[in-house]
Amino acid sequence: MPTRSRKSTAFGDALFAGLCRSAGVLVLLLLGGIIVGLLIGGWDALSRFGIPFLWGTNWDPVEGVFGAGVSVYGTVLTAVLAIVLAVPLAFGVAFFLTELAPTWLRGPLGTAVELLAAVPSIIFGMWGFFVIVPVMATYILPPIIDTVGELPIIGSLFQGPPFGTGLFTAAFILAIMILPFIAATMRDVFLQVPGVFKESAYGLGATRWEVMRKVVLPYTRTSVVGGIMLGLGRALGETMAVTFVIGNANRISPSIFGPGNTIASLVALEFGESELGSLKLSALLALGFILFVISFVVLATSRWLLRSRLKV
């Protein structure tokens, strides 16, 4: 290779490496800036109320008393319920698209699932309020309350008046919203499994479910968990769709059908009424910092679990 070509190639490699390194550093700087900004903005509330701010259930702007317990509870509960509802359905969609659906249907159906992710969250919120809430109040919640709600141990989780709005309805809307992310990820990684692996299992007499459980899922478990965590991250931070249907009550309900709020919905409702430099604004920024910490802990835990499973 001529000397000039070698120098040009070396310069291009160095420039490309520098740009990639700068992009990585920029992401870290932006992330650190968000963390520091939220911490500084919420420091007045955190320093005044201390650690009990995390589990305090009072939110009284008139008296100047604030606690994050109700919104943290609602955030975690709705996100977990959404994952419980969405993951089986997403797995069924991905399994159907990769193993059962005819070839002519896979493309249009897969595109329809992906287009579901493009629907704005406010549309989901309006749809949930005007369509899902009446259906919940009329057809779904009453029979569950009358049957499961009468059980001795778990019955308290399914009791209360069937208003239609509440934590469970918010979780249902979140499940519909995160479904395309999880389903699309599962479908793509299922398609990456080498065909010889599945053909070998079929040759040994395995059924489709056995191939999926013993071949496809072990091969793709890292990516599958990554897709689930992507959906969980979306569920933790969703705002407008949850605000429409969760009931927006600052109390912890023992029933999943009761009203509540999340960190994102509380910030959306209260931020416009907060004065610059007020303790209320500081409390809202502290809530944002707590939400960031929760998301970080969830993602870090998932990565740790994946690494421990891979070592085994």
Angle between helices 279-311 and 263-270 (to 10 degrees): 160
Q: Are 231 and 182 in contact (CB under 8 A)?
A: yes
DSSP state at residue 251:
S
* Distance, CA of 100 to CA of 208 (rounded, Å): 9
Which of 253, 288, 234 shows the shortest CA–CA distance to 83?
234
Q: Are 137 and 164 in contact (CB under 8 A)?
A: yes
Q: Are 144 and 158 in contact (CB under 8 A)?
A: yes
pLDDT in single tens digits along all 312 residues of the chain: 555 556 566 777 788 888 889 998 998 899 889 889 999 999 999 999 888 888 888 888 888 889 899 999 999 999 999 999 999 999 999 999 888 888 888 888 888 888 888 888 899 999 999 999 999 999 999 999 999 988 888 888 898 888 889 999 999 999 999 999 899 889 888 888 888 888 888 888 888 888 888 888 888 888 888 888 888 888 888 888 999 999 888 888 889 999 999 999 999 888 878 888 788 999 999 999 999 888 888 877 777 766 655 454
Which class would CATH give 42-311? mainly alpha
Q: Cite the beta strand spans of the chain per DSSP E.
A: 59-60, 65-66
Which of 250, 76, 78, 57 shows the shortest CA–CA distance to 167?
78
302: number of CA atoms within 13 Å, CB side?
A: 18
- Listed by start position, the domains of the chain span 42-311
* Distance, CA of 170 to CA of 163 (rounded, Å): 13
To the nearest 10°, report the CA torsion of 200, 201, 205, 209.
-150
**Angstrom distances, CA of residue 281 to CA of 38, 41, 74, 294:** 11, 8, 20, 20
Which of 255, 254, 271, 252 shows the shortest CA–CA distance to 75?
252
